[in-house]
Amino acid sequence: MGSKGPRKGNGYEREICRLLSQWWSNGARDDLFYRTGGSGSRAFNRARQGKTTAGQGADVGATDPEGAPLTQLFAIEVKRGYNLHTIQDLMDKPSWGGEQVYEDWFAKAELHRQASGARYWALIVRRDRREPLIFYPEKLCPSVVQGRLLLVRYREMVLACMLLEQFFATLTPDWLRTALSENW
Could you tell me what percent of the chain has a pLDDT over 90? 37
b (16+ CB within 10 A) / e for 89-121: ebeeeeeeeeebbbeebbebbbbbbebbebebb
Does the pLDDT value for residue 2 go beyond 90?
Answer: no
> SS3 of 138, please?
helix
- pLDDT tens readout for residues 120-140: 999 999 988 999 999 998 877
- pLDDT tens readout for residues 89-113: 878 888 888 888 999 999 999 988 9
- pLDDT tens readout for residues 15-59: 999 999 999 999 999 999 999 875 555 555 656 666 555 556 689
Q: What is the pLDDT of residue 125?
A: 95
Does the pLDDT value for residue 66 go beyond 50?
Answer: yes
Name the pTM for this structure.
0.84
| Helix ranges restricted to H, 39-182 | 41-48, 68-73, 88-92, 101-116, 164-170, 173-181
Picking from 159, 110, 153, 167, the residue whose alpha carbon sits closest to that of residue 138 is 159
